[in-house]
Structure 1
Amino acid sequence: MSTVTLKGNSIKTSGSLPKVGDQAKDFALTKTDLSKLTLSDLKGSKVVLNIFPSIDTGTCAASVRKFNEQASGLKNTKVVCISRDLPFAQARFCGAEGIENVINASDYATGQFGKDYGLEIIDPPLLNLHSRAVIVLDENGKVVYTEQVPEIVDEPNYEKALDALN
């Protein structure tokens, strides 16, 4: 279990992020076109998992915009933005914002990704949503970087996450 804060108030997550050097657990998420996305689908590419509570909040939206901006210049890298939002909400946001360089994927159906990666929030008011985190994987799905953002309303450290790709 990890503790993060929401505007200074402590909230707990279901576990801890995977450690650098761990093999990432496979997952099944739903993309905005309602097709499935698994870790196996991303094999052979470096992967940035940008995880957050909801695309309909300012900080979450900013992280999707920032990674979308950066993703266009990354070689052999896919950026996956993950939340428990419905795929329809993710599609609406991306359409309105012109987001085309990242893959949006939802864990709405089971929340299993959040449980497996130790970032499901287990305290109100964000109960069952995901904490803000970034996990970077190499081409073989091995974890090379993690960041559990300590304060949910803060943005992740984009520079460190992108540096981990090198």
Structure 2
Amino acid sequence: MKKIKYYTSLWNYIYHDEPQSLEEVVAQVRNEGFGVELWPYFFSLKPYRPTLQTRPISIKRGFNDLFDITYREQLQDLFSGVETSWHSRGTGEKPLKISTFQEHAQQIDTAAAIGSSIISVHDIGYTLTNTQVTNNVTVANQVVEYATTRGITLALETGSFEACLKATNKYQV
């Protein structure tokens, strides 16, 4: 019989003030046998204060990004033995938070470095989004190919059914 693996999304911690550090949150989640969906943006790790990049307070204060290479070693240690997935930097906002191959590659490299296998995305550049897929998907092709070589699956989140069909036809999902 197949077992379902449950993940706790760090997105949930955006909506309450967590007294624990990220390390303590991860230990608690690990002890319960859950995996973790990481959200990249945060104000602090002790105490853990994640944020959404589109909130006015985030724009005003500035925030840190777990996808940044400076956090990779810390994340490798912290999430050792914990199943993880990621939510991408972008959430479909316009203009897009990330739109270049290099920006997507940094996300993919960080996810691969800590042993994650999935990044949930709302868009891969301007030509493949959760609501449309255009005929010119050069950047998206590069990103999908690179993710595949790194062992990362890109999950197109909250897409329109038509856009998802067009994306799967282009990428042999």
Q: Structure 1-normalised TM-score? A: 0.30
Q: Which has the higher contact order (CA 8 A, sep 6+)?
A: 1
Q: Structure 2-normalised TM-score? A: 0.30
Q: Which has the larger radius of gyration?
A: 2
Instruction: Decide which structure has greater helix share.
Output: 2
